A and B are shown apart, each in its own frame.
Chain A
């Protein structure tokens, strides 16, 4: 019995070790594969990845997470990072990694697809889709729509507004505020939001869900979460998108984007994926399926939404959104993250 126990234990251990070695060998033998860190959530981008693999035979290993957390991970991993490609849901996370020099320069054939507003000034990341910051609201409960992000500190919105401070898009918005108005003014606004009992959420989609279920009336999100929530609940929801007055800092336009890491041994395949995502047909599919703005085809935008020109977003150099650390420190200090 004891020897049998030991033998079977030893056999199991050896079996497991062998199995794992073999399977990892098998994985590396099967043609090309790419490792992607994706801050774009699975529900949005997985179908595009699947289609790419089907077309090219390039296998994709995808690690989904929050853009900030994945940026932090790349910063921590440095040259040891197993990632070939970083896809972020906002420009700030790309910028923060870009300044450490771990991204490689992209081919001009990729960069030229995209307008200069939507790519890195260092040529090391490129936008994939465009999105607008909006306030989502319940039309039956909000009679007077806010005209500016600053209105949200008014008493009528007490306890009724939701934000997602860990979310990269929210942090990009706060970074813009700091750039335009300085740290002190921004801190004061955030402080007043806290005093106005702003509700904190982990994700934009949770904010939209909370508006639909009546927990809150309003929330600062990206425009496309309306569709995401409605589609995953498989029904109409009681939430609408609203824009602040043209030119308001709350109407920030941001991008989701991609960058290739320096130490990637498979830059060619990584470039192929970016090229695929920037192709006309895929850009149109982004507009139709995930309801985002195209960064390639100027007029391609989701139905019923104003064009970027109509929104009159604040002119922000997206490459300069990299100082997110300062924003995060402020949010930590105020207890928002």
Chain B
């Protein structure tokens, strides 16, 4: 690991060593940033490589306005409804006594393992003529709600129950006390989750493509598939990246400093306390309906399709594809961790360079897979050694999901108690040594989670994989996609089901309800 190089000679002057260690850290972060700049460079190069005339044609046609309006409308609808639904689900799970709250919480989060195109595929098998904007809103709500639920749930668990009880003794009703006491405490985490959902919708490819909704990603795909001149696709991709960047800026500017005055909340029992029949009925109804739409119906459909596909399953290929998927995703998550370690470490030390790097990476994270694919194909075409190799595919995963890992790395380092580092310092350990001997071991579980998170996202990735995979190399996602494309819904089922099953493992490990304080939305 890169931090190895930070360890130095015991006898050196510790101040000198601190600055040299820091320099190395900055250097490695700079490397990470340089890698992250590659897609942008090739995107800009691609956009301006064609005739300048084309930029005008692409941007000034009526269709572009339509694409813009559709994208923004889809993003707004999904973000608002998902946030509302996700917070409601989390509130119910946290406050209403449903007898098995932690099991329900695990189930409500589980859809994180199901990518949008699998949802679309199963719902299209249930409702054959499922098409259009409303359908896309429906599918994307199912897909993105768990991100909000997860964020809200972890924020609620960290929130201060004592204040709430004081408020209720003072006669505030549930709504008022939620608005006045709870909401300010969870707002920042939830809004980070909403940003994540908005970015997800902007970059979603599978659902809009299958449902025929003309958003930016679908338009980019159409231009990519239907035209020899790839600059047209790059131009639209640049516009999409700009929208994502604006969104991130708005979110971080509207974020308010949370004025949480923590009291003795650790001592308060955190069990769900609302026991009234009516609340329990309504909460069960909400959670039940969500689970039926997001988990039970699609999984049942996959299972039925799987059973009818049973006689014709090519088990050898299924196994090989699963291995390929795991291999590429694992390689991607390891590269991501390598890149994320120095950046996370730097930004946990509250340095300006660190937070700059952090912010820049967030914009890379907002790059839709299809855009990443487009620019890395251009990059690879000039570098035959890496072109169409698993290495380049894994590298694209690392770039796409590195920002998620950085968030986890940073929080895990921040969680290391400061006084332990100070004790290490008084024991004559240099900064580098204390990082190695104290911080990294304590942060290891968090680093593991970061790796899992990238692994999970990489497994589900579709558009960049379609463009960058080596010829003949199939992942579960691409196999499923090509079977769906030729209407072989039954043949697609084993791949989809296996994908969801494998993805459920990291999804469950990351979001174990008993450890949910460590989870949450970690892109901010």
Contact = CB atoms under 8 A, between A and B. Distances in A.
Interface of A: 1-2, 5-6, 9-10, 12-13, 16, 19-20, 35-37, 41-43, 61-66, 68-69, 71-73, 75-78, 80, 82, 96, 165-167, 171, 200-203, 205, 209, 213-215, 228-229, 232-233, 324-325, 328-329, 331-335, 337
B66 A335 contact: yes
B222 A328 contact: no
Given A16-B330, A35-B471, A213-B128, A232 B486 contact: yes
Interface string B219-231: 0001111111110
A66 B486 contact: no
Would you call the interface of chain A mostly helix, strand, loop, or mixed? helix
Interface string B139-161: 00000000000000000000000
Interface residues of B, number: 51
A217 to B, nearest CB: 15
A205 B334 contact: no
Interface string B192-228: 0000000000000000010010000000001111111
A284 B47 CA distance: 46
Interface string B370-392: 00000001100110100110110
B381 A78 contact: yes
B57 A80 contact: no
A69 B224 contact: yes
Contacts of B377: 73, 76
B174 interface: no
A337 B227 contact: yes
Interface in B468-498: 470-472, 482, 485-488
7 contacts: A1-B441, A9-B1, A36-B471, A41-B485, A76-B377, A96-B228, A335-B61
B228 A75 contact: yes
Contacts of B62: 335
Main secondary structure of the interface of B (DSSP, over half): helix
A214 B128 CA distance: 11
A115 B381 CA distance: 36
Contacts of A12: 330, 334
Contact of A1 (B57, B222, B444): B444
B390 to A, nearest CB: 6
Contact of B388 (A65, A76, A82, A167): A82
Contact of B226 (A167, A213, A232): A167
B72 interface: no
B487 A171 contact: no
Contacts of A68: 225-228
Contacts of B232: 332
Contacts of A166: 222, 225-226
B322 to A, nearest CB: 16
Contacts of B228: 68, 71-72, 75, 96, 324-325, 328
B441 A2 contact: yes
Given A205-B486, A232-B487, A62 B226 contact: no
A82 B471 contact: yes
B22 interface: no
A320 B470 CA distance: 33
B230 A72 contact: yes
A332 B57 contact: yes
